[in-house]
């Protein structure tokens, strides 16, 4: 491994330079977002690290993020596809990993039309309302029993069933008990994709798969793909028996599309389910963790909800625009705990000059949004959870404010952003307005472990377990 430094006007890689801190090298494997943020404080907002045959550029300032995501979007719009994704030919089918190409455009368009456009989302609000009510009922049952709720599990069940209803018109997870299996598969996939893999840096190791990452991921992804394959077969049988498909869902549309075959549908579903469930779950876990420890923010959020929609009621999508404090809580959660801390790594498709450096063609480019969110020259009291900082600003998360880009930006911006935002507001607002919460251990909202765990996404290392009390 070579630390090749961050000198201005240098053509990268000019090194090698000695790595400044061995501790950081060790940490690179387990907490790369933190150690690279630390190195950025010393070496500036653009760094280059060469491991094996791969040069990785890490940018850590809003200005550099803008260079990558907007100014040179075209040059950085392909993805650096990890070996972990080379399973079941997923890299050749997934909208998240395909290079910008006619197939990628088609998959984005068909997903937008059927899932994410404002018209579609407005027309299937009822689905989300129903799944939200299931969530509130589950939590109400726990409150009657005085049981703690594992927020991650509860939210994961809601997210996955919401997606499975939109796509397949059914609940994929029925009981709280069966959430674990599917959640474990998704979490394992994210962890394997984020794990440093020697085969990504030394191509000669690709066949050997020395850490077993590809082979484990093949098993996890295979299980999910089989589930979707069975669902597609059941639907085809139904269409054959009944002569028509009365389900008004995404599967119906995809099966009718000349441009999609069954394999493409399975991989699209895998991409959307994995990308969409882990990110939403971890964001809500962090938001609840911050709120239960921050009495002032929690009571302000409750007060706003009570005034605008009424005490103890679930949030409706039409309420969202009237809830600035809730919106600020979500933004503040994204600032401190972006669920995809480096975005999905990009790959330079040509030599590009940014900020005085030449990024070589083929280099991997990471935008450290975690570091940007905690940078004290960008944010006042950067370490403090304070939703108020967003109350009188126009900063939003839609890819135009480079100090806050949890969904990325440019043409590869998160496809699921419009759905994600609706789900986050609905779930967080309703959890806050329908229940009072205290920590499981002793009710003292002081000592929650706020350590994170890096996969490709950043989750809480320990689950958030909190005891609900129904608001009457
Ligand atoms: C809190 C929620 C979410 C966060 C923070 C998030 C974040 C991200 C990020 C950072 C990227 C990479 C963007 C870039 O490289 O510029 C991405 C891509 C993507 N996301 Fe999300 N995401 C979320 C929810 C969802 C949901 C709900 C879905 C779908 C159901 C989804 C589907 C996708 C897809 C398909 C891509 C790949 C797009 C492409 O490469 O063209 N995401 N997301």
Going residue by residue through the chain, which has 472 residues, state the pLDDT in tens, using 9 for 90 and above: 444 444 444 444 443 333 343 444 545 667 788 877 777 777 778 888 888 888 889 999 999 999 999 999 999 999 999 999 999 999 999 999 999 999 999 999 999 988 899 999 998 899 999 999 999 999 999 999 999 999 999 999 999 999 999 899 999 887 666 666 888 898 899 888 888 888 998 889 999 999 999 999 999 999 999 999 999 999 999 999 888 777 778 899 899 888 899 999 999 999 999 999 999 999 999 999 999 999 999 999 999 999 999 999 999 999 999 999 999 999 999 999 999 999 999 999 999 998 788 899 999 999 999 999 999 999 999 999 999 999 999 999 999 999 999 999 999 999 999 999 999 999 999 999 999 999 887 545 456 788 888 776 777 888 889 999 999 8
Distances (CA, A) of 413 to 229, 343, 400: 28, 9, 11
Instruction: Name the nearest CA neighbour of 181 among 155, 212, 147, 220.
Output: 220
Q: Which pLDDT does position 11 carry in this prediction?
A: 46
Q: Which pLDDT does position 27 carry in this prediction?
A: 55
Token pair in block for residue 13 = 């890689």
Distance 407 CA to ligand 1 centre (A): 6
Closest CA to ligand 1's atom 11? 414
Q: What is the ipTM metric for this complex?
A: 0.99
Q: 281: domain CATH number? A: 1.10.630.10
Number of domains in the chain: 1
Q: Which pLDDT does position 38 carry in this prediction?
A: 78
Distance 307 CA to ligand 1 centre (A): 33
Q: Which pLDDT does position 422 carry in this prediction?
A: 95
CA distance 47 to 5: 6
Token pair in block for residue 297 = 């923010």
Distance 16 CA to ligand 1 centre (A): 35
Distance 44 CA to ligand 1 centre (A): 28
Please give the number of the atom of ligand 1 that sits closest to the Cα of 345.
Answer: 15
Closest CA to ligand 1's atom 7? 407
Question: Would you say 58 and 24 are in contact if contact means Cβ atoms under 8 Å apart?
Answer: no
Question: Would you say 358 and 11 are in contact if contact means Cβ atoms under 8 Å apart?
Answer: yes
Distance 405 CA to ligand 1 centre (A): 11
Residues in the chain: 472
CB neighbours of residue 179 within 10 Å: 22
Contacts of 64 (CB under 8 A, 6+ apart): 45, 46, 354, 355, 367
Contacts of 21 (CB under 8 A, 6+ apart): 38, 39
Prediction pTM value: 0.92
Q: Which pLDDT does position 452 carry in this prediction?
A: 81
- Residue numbers belonging to the annotated binding site for heme: 414
Contacts of 422 (CB under 8 A, 6+ apart): 121, 128, 317, 320
Please give the number of the atom of ligand 1 that sits closest to the Cα of 340.
Answer: 10
Please give the number of the atom of ligand 1 that sits closest to the Cα of 423.
Answer: 27
- Domain of 307 in residue numbering reads as 2-470
Q: Where are the beta strands (DSSP E) in 20-147?
A: 46-51, 54-59, 78-79
From the number of C-beta atoms within 10 Å of its C-beta (0-12, 13-18, 19+), residue 258 rates as: exposed
* Pocket probe mutation, ligand 1, options 275, 367, 423, max atoms within 8 Å of Cβ: 275
Q: Which helix (H) or strand (E) holds 278?
A: helix 262-293
Residues with CB under 6 A from ligand 1: 95-96, 108, 163, 271-272, 275-276, 279-280, 283, 339-340, 343-344, 406-409, 412-416, 419-420
Closest CA to ligand 1's atom 21? 414
Please give the number of the atom of ligand 1 that sits closest to the Cα of 283.
Answer: 1
Please give the number of the atom of ligand 1 that sits closest to the Cα of 419.
Answer: 27
Closest CA to ligand 1's atom 34? 415
């Amino acid at each position: 491994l070579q630390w090749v430094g961050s000198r201005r006007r240098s053509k990268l890689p000019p090194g090698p330079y000695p790595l400044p801190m061995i501790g950081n090298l060790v940490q690179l494997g387990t907490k790369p977002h933190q150690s690279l943020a630390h190195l950025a404080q010393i070496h500036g907002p653009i760094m280059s690290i060469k491991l094996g045959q791969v040069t990785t550029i890490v940018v850590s300032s809003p200005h550099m993020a803008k260079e990558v995501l907007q100014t040179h979007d075209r040059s950085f719009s392909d993805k650096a596809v990890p070996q972990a994704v080379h399973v079941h030919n997923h890299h050749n089918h997934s909208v998240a990993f395909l290079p910008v190409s006619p197939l990628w455009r088609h998959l984005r368009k068909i997903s937008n039309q059927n899932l994410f456009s404002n018209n579609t989302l407005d027309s299937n609000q009822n689905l989300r309302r129903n799944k939200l009510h299931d969530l509130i009922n589950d939590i109400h049952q726990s409150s009657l029993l005085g049981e703690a709720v594992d927020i991650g599990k509860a939210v994961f069940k809601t997210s996955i069933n919401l997606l499975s209803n939109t796509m397949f018109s059914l609940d994929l997870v029925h009981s709280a008990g069966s959430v674990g299996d599917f959640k474990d598969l998704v979490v394992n996939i994210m962890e394997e994709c984020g794990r440093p893999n020697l085969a990504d840096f030394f191509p000669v190791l690709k066949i050997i798969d020395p850490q077993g990452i590809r082979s484990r991921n093949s098993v996890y992804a295979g299980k999910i793909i089989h589930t979707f394959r069975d669902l597609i077969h059941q639907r085809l049988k139904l269409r054959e028996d009944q002569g028509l498909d009365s389900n008004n869902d995404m599967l119906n549309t995809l099966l009718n599309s000349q441009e999609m075959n069954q394999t493409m549908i399975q991989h699209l579903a895998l991409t959307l389910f994995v990308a969409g469930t882990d990110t939403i779950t971890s964001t809500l876990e962090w938001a609840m963790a911050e709120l239960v420890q921050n009495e002032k923010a929690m009571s302000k959020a409750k007060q706003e909800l009570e005034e605008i929609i009424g005490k103890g009621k679930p949030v409706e999508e039409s309420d969202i625009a009237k809830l600035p404090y809730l919106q600020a809580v979500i933004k503040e959660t994204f600032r401190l705990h972006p669920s995809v801390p480096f975005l999905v790594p990009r790959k330079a498709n040509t030599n590009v000059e940014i900020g005085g450096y030449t990024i070589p063609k083929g280099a991997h480019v990471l935008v450290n949004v975690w570091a940007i969110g905690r940078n004290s020259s960008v944010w006042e009291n950067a370490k403090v959870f304070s939703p108020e900082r967003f109350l009188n600003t126009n900063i939003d998360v839609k890819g135009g404010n480079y100090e806050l880009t949890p969904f990325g930006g440019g043409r590869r911006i998160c496809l699921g952003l419009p759905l994600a935002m609706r789900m986050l507001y609905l779930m967080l607002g309703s959890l806050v307005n329908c229940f009072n919460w205290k920590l499981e251990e002793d009710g003292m909202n002081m000592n929650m472990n706020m350590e994170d765990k890096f996969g490709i996404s950043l989750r809480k290392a320990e689950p958030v377990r909190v005891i609900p009390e129904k608001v009457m």
